[in-house]
A and B are shown apart, each in its own frame.
Chain A
Amino acid sequence: MFKSIMEWVDARLPISDLIKSQATEYPTPKNLNYWWNFGSLALFVLIIQLATGIFLVMHYKPDAALAFDSVEHIMRDVNWGWLLRYLHANGATFFFVVVYIHILRGMYYGSYRSPREILWWIGIIIFFLLMGTAFMGYVLPWGQMSYWGAAVITNLMSAVPLVGEDLVVWVWGGFAVGDPTLNRFFSLHYLLPFVVFGAVFVHLWALHAVHSNNPDGIDIDEHKDSLPFHPYFTVKDLYGVGVFLIIYCGFVFFAPNYFAEPDNYIEANPMQTPAHIVPEWYFLPFYAILRSIDFLGSFSKLAGVLAMVGAIAILFVLPWLDRSPARSFRYRPLSRQLFWLFIIDCFILGWVGYNPADATVFGGMPIVFVGRAATLVYFGYFFLLWLITAFDIEKPKPTPTSI
């Protein structure tokens, strides 16, 4: 019965072919490790965000006078509303956990190298879209952190020479963050995840054109060294989903506000800034980079913004900075050490970003000095990776010819 229905459909729309060639029989390197789970996990979290988001919208009101109360209404009155909101808010956090690991996986195993540059680029574009989506979503509950986070970040645009001030007024739709701003952020917060969804398909299209990289970073003989995606990797990905759900639900049910700021349970007040504004944890390293450029006088603001955007945009040229004959850092001792230094540095930047700008550490040293040093190390990673590979300073170990 099912078979004959499928035959009828396939003669008109070849679904089975597509599923076979692009999913179940997609040749997958047999040595993929667990770091390769995070791509499918990212898609899984995107679907969670879409589903919870669409149902939240049924109760949420994008109006500066009503937004805060409508979120409290979701929390207290709507059936299971608290669950939808906690799933959504923690979903954003875990989206970034998953995506950061996914990106770092690519950086460690050289997945950005030829022929995967376009695949890598689309990934970075998705990351930018994700940051925009999360930023605008965080404004929606219209608490104090929502409001002042939006004020500080939109003000960054005023650093653009000549048109900056007009640009910010245009983005606000007023002379300060206000009701028009909330409305447009809501519109875009609904739209962008679907753009991300589309971009994910282009990402997969590029992936399926060049096929997956692997922990050894070598080109493989697909007849010998690959397995069909189903059932080998569907099972492995599902196992990853299980582990993910345990941790994610742990936060949703037992510490739902662990990543939240108490100030965001105070309604937005345009007349008063909270004493200490912090962005969401996933923006902290970039926020630290922004603030550590404060020594260029009136040029500081623009330079800070450029450094912050540059910190991510530099990933676009990574495929050309890295010139090593080996892709995977498994066979590149120096690159590997730089990589771990880079990771530690990201945590230090995050810690600097979390602290007030005028904090002092280690008995009186302004924390901004730590921020400047860590910013230097951050960009230093990319410079040194180029240096040691372009001038053959790193001698890679021989890579295997098959897996």
Chain B
Amino acid sequence: MHIEQEESRRDFLILATSAVGLVGVGGAAWPFIRSMSPSADVLAQATTEVDLSAIQEGQMITVPWQGKPVFVLHRTAEQIAQAKNVTMSELRDPQDDKDRVRKPEWLVVLAICTHLGCVPQPIGTGEYGGFLCPCHGTHYDTSGRIRKGPAPKNLEAPPHEFKDDRTLIIGKVLA
């Protein structure tokens, strides 16, 4: 009887010590794990300024933002109409064009295919007047929405705003 009691006391102590030890190891692992997350200087490249004056209607450029390519497209009236005249039920990831752009004539989207991250080809290469991803054949329309192919979602519209008529800021402006 006495011995059994001793044993359960010992079991308890071993269990409790191991539990505390495990929490300690977990805590010590945290700095190692976090050291792999984006560092301060990477986070500091948060915004990109783009001069829009040189981009003619129908033209697009690719600019880097946080190391990622972003398409900035000056849409023509026809491309805007194409983006607007869509029945929502046809879309895999239904989203109105007006919820994706700040100004109808400027489409700003991450040029990163939502399938596996390739850069789609420029405007006019895809079936809906939009972008074709060469890797596994996804077609995005003139609003950057997924229309056909394996990708699950629309091209992401990064946070952006217009400082003035000719300057676009991509990213979250903090100040």
A residues with a Cβ closer than 8 A to B are 148, 151-152, 154-156, 169-176, 178, 180, 184, 270-277, 291, 294, 297-298, 300-301, 356-358
Q: How far is the CA of A271 from the CA of B70 in the complex (A)?
A: 9
Measured CB to CB, the closest approach of chain A to B31, in angstroms, equals 14
The answer, yes or no, to whether B42 is at the interface (CB within 8 Å) is: yes
Identify which of A169, A176, A275 gathers the most chain B CB atoms within 10 Å of its CB: A176
Identify which of B39, B92, B152 gathers the most chain A CB atoms within 10 Å of its CB: B152
Q: Which of A170, A300, A358 contacts B152 (CB 8 A)?
A: A300
In chain B, what residue has the closest Cβ to A298?
Answer: B152
Question: Residues of A contacting B83 with CB < 8 Å?
Answer: none
In chain B, what residue has the closest Cβ to A148?
Answer: B118
Place the interface of chain B in its size category.
20 to 34
Flag if A151 contacts B118 (CB, 8 Å): yes
Q: What does DSSP make chain B's interface, helix, strand, loop or mixed?
A: loop
Flag if B134 contacts A169 (CB, 8 Å): no
Identify which of A272, A273, A277 gathers the most chain B CB atoms within 10 Å of its CB: A273
Task: Please report which residues of chain B, range 25-74, place their CB below 8 angstroms from some CB of chain A when the two chains form the complex.
Answer: 33, 36-39, 42, 62, 64, 66-69
Flag if B66 contacts A175 (CB, 8 Å): yes
The answer, yes or no, to whether B135 is at the interface (CB within 8 Å) is: yes
A-B contacts, 9 listed (Cβ < 8 Å): A151-B117, A169-B38, A173-B37, A178-B42, A273-B119, A275-B134, A300-B152, A357-B137, A358-B136
Flag if B38 contacts A180 (CB, 8 Å): yes
Flag if A298 contacts B92 (CB, 8 Å): yes
Q: Which of B38, B66, B116, B150 contacts A155 (CB 8 A)?
A: B116
In chain A, what residue has the closest Cβ to B132?
Answer: A358
Q: A151-B116, A275-B134, A298-B92 are in contact. List 9 more A-B contacts (CB 8 A).
A: A154-B117, A170-B33, A176-B67, A176-B112, A180-B38, A294-B136, A294-B150, A297-B152, A357-B136
